[in-house]
Amino acid sequence: MKAIVARDYGPLDQLDYADWPEPEIGPKTVVIDAAMIGVNYPDGLLVQGLYQMKPETPFVPGMEVAGRVSAIGEGVTRFKVGDRVGSVSALGAYAEKVAADESAVMPLPHGLTDEDACALMCGFGTAHHALKQRGQLQPGETLCVLGASGATGVAAVQIGKAMGAKVIAVASTPEKQNVAKQAGADVVLGYDNLKDALKQATGGKGVDVAFDPVGGEGFDVLSRSMGWGGRLLVIGFASGTIPKLPVNLTLVKGYSVVGVFWGAFTAKEPKANADNMKELIGWYLESKIKPVIEGIYPLSEAPAILKRVLGRGATGKIVLKP
């Protein structure tokens, strides 16, 4: 089969579109013929050796896949050949066939497309966990989303609205701001004079929950714009800069800084994660949320697509097709 192979850690253009052994069918294993493969920001970090996890090389990157079951291993009881399914795993998704443990596979209902399923898994899964478990967002609260045109940012805007919040979206260009507006944001801002704009947008009360996948200067502004009892959610550092927090601000303003690591959450709290996915799919089927799919590209173009994602040149979700 064909796959994207990282033969060693290095620049994205060193990724190889090449033949790769088909996955072995072990006990409790489900083999999926990939219809759509999700692209995520951490994929590009991983292949460069810049992520928390460093698998042995060579390896096939990629976390999300949606498709049909083509084979099952001994002991698999929840799925049969031909079922439409989605799966999230640490590695292996950038390939024509993907093997996953049965526990990491979920059925896809009629009405949920393969590309939207990919978006719901990591991007919407991260945003949902962040706002629900970590941020404990409540109806009527004010949510500020940085990077609001990216895959997780769009998800946070839509989920925030589904949870009853007033959503302030922040994006860098008019095009990206329009994406955030179309996603349902109540207020859309740029990064210029952001502190003053947030003060005006919140009537001087500050932000209740902040969703920050960007870091850098944006985090610095948020750290000074939080309301009393607020929760500043640390999602990632797309700016390339890991910020430092003047902890006296948390004391004076009485807010919390909360880390969000969705991958660890799925491993440590699988039942809560499964409940989250059921809620997300329910919202999707009720048209309360709808992923923004920027485009579907051939699997062979993964290196160029990852460059664009890491360069913050993408809006919404990008999906690969074998």
Quote the CA–CA distance of 109 and 91 in Å, as a whole number.
24
Quote the CA–CA distance of 1 and 22 in Å, as a whole number.
6
Q: Is 71 exposed, middle or buried (0-12, 13-18, 19+ CB in 10 A)?
A: middle
Strands 293-298 and 317-321: parallel
Which residues on neighbouring strands pair with residue 180, listed in sequence order?
none
pLDDT score at 225 = 98
- Tens of pLDDT, residues 115-144: 999 999 999 999 999 999 999 999 999 999
Collapsing DSSP states into helix, strand and coil, what is residue 322?
Answer: coil
Q: What is the mean pLDDT of the chain?
A: 96
Closest CA to 160 of 176, 181, 143: 143
Q: Is the dihedral of CA 215, 221, 222, 223 positive or negative?
A: positive
Phi/psi at 321 (nearest 5 deg)? Answer: -125, 125
Question: Where residue 253 falls among pLDDT bands split at 50, 70, 90?
Answer: very high
Q: What's the whole-model pTM score? A: 0.92
- Tens of pLDDT, residues 38-66: 999 999 999 999 888 899 999 999 999 99
pLDDT score at 316 = 87
pLDDT score at 303 = 96
Query: Would you state the structure tokens that stand for residue 295, as one six-digit string?
Result: 């485009």
- Tens of pLDDT, residues 168-216: 999 999 999 999 999 999 999 999 999 999 999 999 999 999 999 999 9
Across residues 220-238, what is the average pLDDT? Answer: 97
Across residues 259-285, what is the average pLDDT? Answer: 94
Query: Would you state the structure tokens that stand for residue 140, as one six-digit string?
Result: 């009527």
Amino acid at 201: A
Closest CA to 16 of 32, 27, 5, 24: 5
Instruction: Give yes or no for a contact between 118 and 36, defined as CB atoms under 8 angstroms apart.
Output: yes
Across residues 295-301, what is the average pLDDT? Answer: 97
Q: What percent of the chain has pLDDT over 70?
A: 100
pLDDT score at 314 = 82
Q: Give the residue carrying structure tokens 């709808």.
A: 290
The H or E element that residue 123 is part of is: helix 123-129
Across residues 71-78, what is the average pLDDT? Answer: 96
Q: Give the residue carrying structure tokens 């489900």.
A: 30
Question: Where residue 27 falls among pLDDT bands split at 50, 70, 90?
Answer: very high
Query: Would you state the structure tokens that stand for residue 112, as one six-digit string?
Result: 């949920």
Query: Would you state the structure tokens that stand for residue 171, as one six-digit string?
Result: 């994006």
Q: Give the residue carrying structure tokens 């955030």.
A: 180
pLDDT score at 79 = 97
Closest CA to 49 of 97, 1, 95, 7: 7
Amino acid at 135: G
Q: How many H helices and E strands in the chain?
A: 11, 15
